[in-house]
Structure 1
């Protein structure tokens, strides 16, 4: 099957994908959706308007309002799912926010290594008519699962957070006007990128040997201690859609207001995680909002074409929810 055939298939049926059953061998394995690794068809006539360049030594997609810098703008980080920096749909999503007055920086969170595409996996709707076809299907699913496991092991927060720190530091220098105009940096995130919005919105106690190991060691002459230090929050406000790989612990220590776009019965952002997150935010008196969208697949909020008009309308509503939140904060 060709790559473009996979990219254009309709995964709406994934909206009700069953979660891993308790007691199975995969019970504790982090889950990722097909939508985290495969783009929807790009809407007709839409093409990216920005450019790929380096910022702080990291590849980023940069897109700006037409009137910038003559008119004041704000700085927005857009954090993607596994399809990454070179996804046309992700770039167009960034352009949409740029058209609303934001200088948008979309960093390559995965250092040139986006998640394995689903091209090797046959259509889930394919009629299996023989034992051999069943065997091939299971083998392909196992191979893809293995590739995703290996990919996730390469892109942990210990690798991703230093990338974000470098980009944020560079933004504070090159786009100081936009950062100052907004009173800080804003962030939106989708799928995997959604989790990093939570991490950027929180205050964390970090050991110098953890994910900040890429930075310099403590400077005793400058009065820096050898023990843990507090870092963050890095952003003024954030919005995230159908986050992936989130645990209840990711909601602890949140300091910046956040808006969540959630999918009803999302197998990769289970209800129990969402409810635990809502409880933590409420107990912490954190300003937040949570909207649950029924009848849509994980990944629906990212730019991409759907045949189902309900999903199309929900996609627009989710974008408006996220835009309104960052505009108001």
Structure 2
């Protein structure tokens, strides 16, 4: 995790520096961005309030012994549909907001498979956040918040160390192989699997979009690689993908991407540095890959994940990002 092109540490600050500084985010609902690199933000590990009156319509099941949320179009299997693999941020497969996000794609005609990338170990501190303007907090509250942030920073770093490509990719490979057998009709209808990745999941949408041989960089060293020998060659191909405000992404993650890719990003996002994004998009285009990007200013990292915000600009950007990603998938 010592790559110059990737942020590797969660936000840290001394308790006495917990008061707002010039590095504090001015975006309503965003977490403070302290000086120094960051690995995951508040929006990667904490759900926004769920939109009122909305409840998930899919179901939890297991594929290859991996907990998986499945949600289908209302007319499936009577009408053909495409299969979409949705990869979440740290809040994981049991997050109501993530399930509702999957339902939104299902309502647009996709059979959505959302697997548990973390083997039941979602990011620590997963809870519903509330907007508490820092100017309304007492100094003591701000100091307490600073101490808590340092503790959470350490915990997140430990959690990330448990969820590397060597650990996560084998889970996803097993799910894809099982899904290919269960929903062969949907994969055939789309000519492959479509994928979207948010925050943590964005990196894996890129890695899974890399053809066999190149993607094995992680799989060959996986703990259960012997059991899964040949699994990459047997997997359905990724037809097209879209990622939103990725974390832990390196320039090298774009090297072998072979599926058309849409990139949603946040302006001045330390979790998805501009130089990584620009280099990655340039590399995909140089490789003859169809790709587009859209950068949203004045919104927090994680804005594209379903959840309520008080700021109308964030609300509109969230809707627009979904429409952009959805349109890209449908066009391919």
Assess same fold via TM > 0.5.
yes
Q: In the alignment, does 2:220 pair up with 1:210?
A: yes
Larger mean CA deviation between 233-242 and 315-324 belongs to: 233-242
Q: In the alignment, does 2:52 pair up with 1:83?
A: no
- Which whole-Å CA distance do the structure 1 matches of 2:224 and 2:295 have between them? 37
Give the 4+ runs in structure 1 shifted more than 2 A.
10-21, 118-124, 126-130, 133-139, 205-213, 215-219, 229-234
Following TM superposition, by how much is the alpha carbon of 1:153 offset from its aligned partner in structure 2, in angstroms? 0.8
- Which whole-Å CA distance do the structure 2 matches of 1:19 and 1:284 have between them? 36
Q: In the alignment, does 2:126 pair up with 1:108?
A: no
Q: Per-residue CA shift, 1:65-106, capped at 9, x if unaligned?
A: 110001101110000000001100000000000011111010
From 35, 42, 46, the counterpart of 2:43: 35
Q: In the alignment, does 2:322 pair up with 1:319?
A: yes
- Which whole-Å CA distance do the structure 2 matches of 1:13 and 1:313 have between them? 14
- Which whole-Å CA distance do the structure 2 matches of 1:295 and 1:120 have between them? 22
The corresponding residue for 2:14 is none
Q: TM-score, normalised by structure 1?
A: 0.84
Q: Per-residue CA shift, 1:247-283, capped at 9, x if unaligned?
A: 1111101111100111111110011111111221121
The corresponding residue for 2:157 is 149
Mark the CA change 1:208 to 1:313 in structure 2 (over 3 Å): closer, same or farther: closer
Mark the CA change 1:168 to 1:159 in structure 2 (over 3 Å): closer, same or farther: same
- Which whole-Å CA distance do the structure 1 matches of 2:228 and 2:49 have between them? 48
Q: Is the 8 A contact 2:118 2:163 kept in 1?
A: yes
Following TM superposition, by how much is the alpha carbon of 1:218 offset from its aligned partner in structure 2, in angstroms? 9.4
- Which whole-Å CA distance do the structure 2 matches of 1:218 and 1:53 have between them? 22
The corresponding residue for 1:264 is 267
Q: In the alignment, does 2:248 pair up with 1:245?
A: yes
Q: TM-score, normalised by structure 2?
A: 0.83
Following TM superposition, by how much is the alpha carbon of 1:17 offset from its aligned partner in structure 2, in angstroms? 4.9
Within a 5 Å distance, the mapping from 1:1-329 to structure 2 comes to 12-13=27-28, 17-18=32-33, 20-21=35-36, 27=37, 31-117=39-125, 125=134, 127-129=137-139, 136-203=144-211, 204=214, 206=216, 210-216=220-226, 234-329=237-332
Q: Per-residue CA shift, 1:42-63, capped at 9, x if unaligned?
A: 1111100001110121100000
Structure 2 residue ranges without an equivalent (≥5): 1-24
Q: Is the 8 A contact 1:19 1:268 kept in 2?
A: no
Q: Is the 8 A contact 1:233 1:256 kept in 2?
A: no
Structure 1 residue ranges without an equivalent (≥5): 1-9, 22-26
- Which whole-Å CA distance do the structure 2 matches of 1:290 and 1:38 have between them? 25
Mark the CA change 1:217 to 1:78 in structure 2 (over 3 Å): closer, same or farther: closer
- Which whole-Å CA distance do the structure 2 matches of 1:207 and 1:41 have between them? 38
Q: For the aligned residues, what is the CA RMSD?
A: 2.8
- Matched residue count: 303
